Structure 1
Amino acid sequence: MGSSLRKVAIVGVGYVGASCAYALINQSICDEIMLIDRTPDRAYAQALDLSHCMDFTHSRTKVYTGTYEQCKDMDIVILCSGATPPNSKNRLDALELAQDIHKPMIKQIMASGFQGVFLAAANPVDLVTYMVWKLSELPRHQVLGTGTSIDSSRLKTLLSNYLPVDPRSVQGYVLGEHGESQFPCWSHVTIGGKPILDILAQHPKRFGHMNLEEIALQTKDAGWEIYSRKGSTHYGIGNALAYITRSILNDDHKVIAVSAILDQEYGQTDLCAGVPAIINRQGVKEIVELNLSPKEKDQFNYSCSVLRQAVQRLSL
């Protein structure tokens, strides 16, 4: 990543890819965005439409279409190409479709000489991130996914409505699979630095209506609530992609819950799951290992077992 310009490629410019590009432009995160799509006309139209934002933004971002062969000079390649199986609430049911899409794609991108950071958003994102790591043969720190970043944001938003506080005053993470086996790590959720479990214990009358199991379920099902009503979720995840991209390009060292390749962290290896990690210019600088409660350890191990079973379905 030696270029003085900050260059990002987005593969797949449907709702998620376009929302990501829009967020990148409005937040002035990068200098160039290259759009790649299996339908060139759509990529061209998105690039043209997005270029018309420039008169109204703080800085100019060059937006253009390209190909896998042009990825060599990109700092980050964001993967948004995916498919959702019909009539399924489980993201893992999209695994075979995701594999068919990403196997030839990653091969072509790596043939270009790309040595930057892969950031995956396509579902099932933990498995897609794992696939990309295996297929690209890049070091594990250069491959990550959005993981439970969006779930953690959904949790904070829900809690902010109950308490009520600004969502940015809520700290905490959803861990494990970005899917059915995810769970909030309640032992590390704080409101303005104060543990939520202490708040609930000290103020039973004021906050006795809060059911943590129900909030966990609402967090898990939030994406489905949106998808079942309008056919896609894209604004939240588009902004999550922009947030992670900015942390990489700015060398921010922010701690974000992402899909990261585990190598002995949390007692897991050769697996990808949603965990908090320090994100910098090189991708994942370090995975943050939280001191989980016995119940949370069981939940994390179960979630990893679900993901490990899905890995067995891959042909890499």
Structure 2
Amino acid sequence: MACAISILLREFCDELALVDVMEDKLKGEMMDLQHGSLFLKTPKIVAGKVDVLTYVTWKLSGLPKHRVIGSGTNLDSARFRYLMAERLGIHPSSFNGWILGEHGDSSVPVWSGANVAGVNLQKLNPDIGTDADQENWTETHRKVVDSAYEVIKLKGYTNWAIGLSVADLIESLMKNLNRIHPVSTMVKGMFGIGDEVYLSLPCVLNSNGVSSVVNMTLTEDERAQLKRSADTLWNIQRDLKDL
């Protein structure tokens, strides 16, 4: 619902559809938003039941792969940029860094591309992100992974950050901005991945969906971590391959 309200308040669409498996709660949320229609500029708010993976959505919808996108590691990357920037004493928009792969525990921090104003942090500290790093930057990625659990422990769930993250993606799509986001897309054939899995890579988003995927220069270790993420997902998905 934080995603819904973030989208509504930024006036991106003329119709918003809510999808969930909890039908009663879903109808209640829909009605609650409809009652506030006077204060919104989205004339139509509807709701319906389904709860599926990005991969399953792609398979069942029949849509081309560039039209099916998962929010992926867009929020993970935002958390990473916030935590790194806080330690560096700068605004998150001034730190450039990416979390790729699978959202959550097996996500891949791209230390080789982390930079501030073009100054590559790995060149300043060749051990950054490794066990040998005396500055312990790896702790920042651990905090990215643990941050959702911490918020859930404190308030029971996460909602505002993911809502803002999804609205950010919607803006790039609806306004045809050609901005780059780390979102979940079909990665078969990239970085040595041979299976049909959805993982997060830097994607150019516009009104067509994913218009292109940025071919990042990754280290061998980063490529291996990305491949492990793909293998983890494929082991879950393999039973769905006949969809």
Q: State the TM-score, normalized to the length of structure 2.
A: 0.86
Runs (5+) with no aligned partner, structure 1? 1-17, 69-80, 82-100, 103-127, 202-207
Secondary structure of the structure 1 residue equivalent to 2:217: coil
Matched, 1:178 2:159: no
Secondary structure of the structure 2 residue equivalent to 1:266: coil
Secondary structure of the structure 2 residue equivalent to 1:183: strand
Offset of residue 229 of structure 1: 2.5
Change (3 A) 1:39 1:178: closer
Once the two structures are superposed, residues 273-297 of structure 1 have per-residue CA deviations (whole angstroms, 9 ceiling, x without a partner) of 1111111111111111101012211
Counterpart selection for 2:8 from 25, 30, 34: 25
In 1, Cα distance between the equivalents of 2:23 and 2:212? 38
Matched, 1:132 2:57: yes
Counterpart selection for 2:25 from 31, 42, 53: 42
Change (3 A) 1:189 1:53: farther
In 1, Cα distance between the equivalents of 2:38 and 2:135? 46
| Structure 2 counterpart of 1:290 | 216
Counterpart selection for 1:242 from 152, 167, 174: 167
- Say if 2:181 and 2:205, in contact at 8 Å, map to a contact too: yes
Once the two structures are superposed, residues 254-276 of structure 1 have per-residue CA deviations (whole angstroms, 9 ceiling, x without a partner) of 10000100131222242211111
Give 1:79-90 correspondences, 5 Å limit: none
What amino acid maps onto 2:7 in structure 1?
L
Q: State the TM-score, normalized to the length of structure 1.
A: 0.68
| Structure 1 counterpart of 2:130 | none
Secondary structure of the structure 2 residue equivalent to 1:263: coil
Counterpart selection for 1:302 from 194, 218, 228: 228
- Say if 1:278 and 1:285, in contact at 8 Å, map to a contact too: yes
Matched, 1:145 2:70: yes
Offset of residue 54 of structure 1: 6.1
Change (3 A) 1:199 1:163: farther
Matched, 1:255 2:180: yes
Change (3 A) 1:297 1:51: same
Offset of residue 162 of structure 1: 0.3
In 2, Cα distance between the equivalents of 1:37 and 1:175? 27
Once the two structures are superposed, residues 43-74 of structure 1 have per-residue CA deviations (whole angstroms, 9 ceiling, x without a partner) of 44434443566666xx7122423447xxxxxx
Once the two structures are superposed, residues 63-94 of structure 1 have per-residue CA deviations (whole angstroms, 9 ceiling, x without a partner) of 423447xxxxxxxxxxxx6xxxxxxxxxxxxx
- RMSD of aligned residue pairs (Cα, Å): 2.3
Highest RCO, 1 vs 2 (Cα 8 Å, sep ≥ 6):
2
| Structure 1 counterpart of 2:92 | 167
- Say if 1:44 and 1:64, in contact at 8 Å, map to a contact too: no
- Say if 2:27 and 2:47, in contact at 8 Å, map to a contact too: no
- Say if 1:162 and 1:210, in contact at 8 Å, map to a contact too: no
Percent of paired sites with the same residue? 30
Runs (5+) with no aligned partner, structure 2? 127-132
What amino acid maps onto 1:61 in structure 2?
T
| Structure 2 counterpart of 1:274 | 200
In 2, Cα distance between the equivalents of 1:191 and 1:301? 27
What amino acid maps onto 1:293 in structure 2?
T
Aligned length: 235
In 1, Cα distance between the equivalents of 2:61 and 2:112? 36
Offset of residue 191 of structure 1: 1.4
Q: Identify which range, 255-264 or 36-45, moves more after superposition.
A: 36-45
| Structure 2 counterpart of 1:62 | 43
What amino acid maps onto 2:46 in structure 1?
T
Change (3 A) 1:51 1:169: farther
